[in-house]
Amino acid sequence: MSDAIARAEAWLAQDPDGETRAELRDLLARADAGDADARASLEDRFATRLAFGTAGLRGELGAGSNRMNRVLVAQAAAGLAAYVLETADEGTEASAPLVVIGYDGRRNSDVFARDSAELFAGAGLRAVLLPRLLPTPVLAFAVRHLGAAAGVMVTASHNPPNDNGYKVYLGGANDGAQIVSPADAEIAAHIQRVADAGDVAALPRSLGYEIAPESVVDAYIAATAAVGPAPAGAEGLTWAYTAMHGVGWETFSRILDVAGYPSPVLVERQISPDGAFPTVAFPNPEEPGAMDLAFEAAREAGAELVIANDPDADRLAVAIPDDTADGGWRRLTGNEIGLLLGWRAARRVQDAAPGASLACSLVSSPGLQTVAEHHGLDFHSTLTGFKWISRAPGLIFGFEEALGYLVNPETVRDKDGISAAIAMLEMASEARGRGATVADLLAEFGETFGHFASDQISVRVDDVSIIAKIMSALRGQHPERIGETAVTGVDDLLEGVDGFPPGDVLRFWLENGSRVIVRPSGTEPKLKLYLDVRGASAGDAQERIAALSAGAREMLDAVG
């Protein structure tokens, strides 16, 4: 305990934030008085530090090296600055490498962004701060648009309200994509050296950073509107939209005007940025109940479609009327949306240059490969995350089942929930123009490519060691059957599988062609199982996926 107290006192001496200083002083006083909870909290906050990896930083706000706060962000900014200066001659031409910073509406996002801009400028970089809180895709766009050496987005995307994060992009040869190995380890080493030095107050700062002109946002709006200008069928379209208390609406609304789509029915209680996310337990469109207010607004308006973004607007959710669903609305799965958008992309490149490809993460629907083969395109399966998908050779479209879609790789090398929404509105409007619905599009897809069905099982834990134990148990003894179906093959990505770097992923192949993939979440304390089947009909696929889901739960119970 004395080590934790010493680290806490050293942290307190350099913390520029009055709120976290007060929080830490209170914990130290309570611990000194023998409060067991305060002692446990200090141990948790200072036993380790938030790891910087290919997802950057993400964690709960609060004092301590294992929390998101101004000290940790200062160390990260100084470490990233050192890395950019060290590697500047590898792809940037400016005498002072440029770093662009964006931020969303979460608590402290603006503070962390300004701290970063001051530290980048103080380190001798040209630092450019986006003019206000904006969606993550605008930052990803700005990295390429401004020819930046790197970009930082302060966001925790769809995480719980008290989280925040620090996402890093690289320019030059990385073309505005998120960081991957070995850059993550090299940046982390620089960050550690800053932390070891011990006092972020000694780091040079400067107010000489720039505010990006509105022309950067205007350029993103123009490029995104061009993804799918409104066809004739858009006239009279009634649809509902929620920003999930995030930053999407201001930018999205301007794009709708330029592209020519009718304004949606807004979920007013969720349309403005609010880092407390008061109407949802988790600000994630995938979570149960998160879209209930959108469904209510859609029912009242007689809408044909619901569109939702997550809080930083890099994800897209879509729902359609369905009399068989609870409440009369059904949210499409990420795979359903991804397959429709992939089909759209493939149809548009019939005369594409050799090497044009579709790509998705290995946990996403195998149906995209079928689409690629049907249209004579290449296909790439990648590890999870758009840091990998965006790097697929010849990419014209990529997606991940967790509601992430990359529809305009020439513009944004990351998932973008706003450009994906425009593409989805275009598809829905074109179908509407010939008297069809999005449900009809799904049926047409099944008739053309086969009937794919997917499911996901997520196990949230308080103790992340439980996840490691389950993965170890599944590796120690592979299941012979999942439900009533025999397992015919197992791929363990830790041991190396062709085409993939090592990863903590198990993939089980079943004799009927079905597939089960098991992996820990990269951003939350969850174990995730991804299930995929292909059926002779929509009904057959649903029966297969239901049986596979039951079998997968039995497998978890047996090892958990």
- CA atoms of 142 and 181, how far apart (whole Å): 23
Peptide bond into 321 cis (omega under 30): no
What are φ and ψ of residue 391, in 5° steps? -95, 5
Helices 465-476, 538-559: axis angle to 10 degrees equals 100
Residue 365 catalytic?
no
Element (H, E) at 121: helix 109-122
* C-alpha to C-alpha distances, 544 to 261, 449, 485, 535, nearest whole angstrom: 39, 17, 10, 7
Element (H, E) at 305: strand 305-309
Element (H, E) at 144: helix 136-145
* C-alpha to C-alpha distances, 462 to 39, 473, 525, 527, nearest whole angstrom: 19, 19, 7, 11
DSSP E strand boundaries for 503-549: 506-510, 515-520, 526-535
Annotate 23-49 with three-state secondary structure. Answer: HHHHHHHHHHCCCHHHHHHHHHHHCCC
- CA atoms of 419 and 103, how far apart (whole Å): 19
454, β-bridge pairs: 532
Contact 40, 5 (CB under 8 A): no
317, β-bridge pairs: 308
- CA atoms of 112 and 67, how far apart (whole Å): 13
- CA atoms of 529 and 519, how far apart (whole Å): 7
Look-up: residue for tokens 């307190």? 12
- CA atoms of 326 and 329, how far apart (whole Å): 7
Residue 36 in tokens: 């067991």
Look-up: residue for tokens 């349309």? 271
- CA atoms of 317 and 107, how far apart (whole Å): 24
Look-up: residue for tokens 């040869």? 173
Q: How far apart are the first and last CA of the chain?
A: 32
Which member of 41, 157, 361, 454 is catalytic? 157
Sign of the C-alpha dihedral, residues 146, 147, 149, 155? positive
Active site members: 157
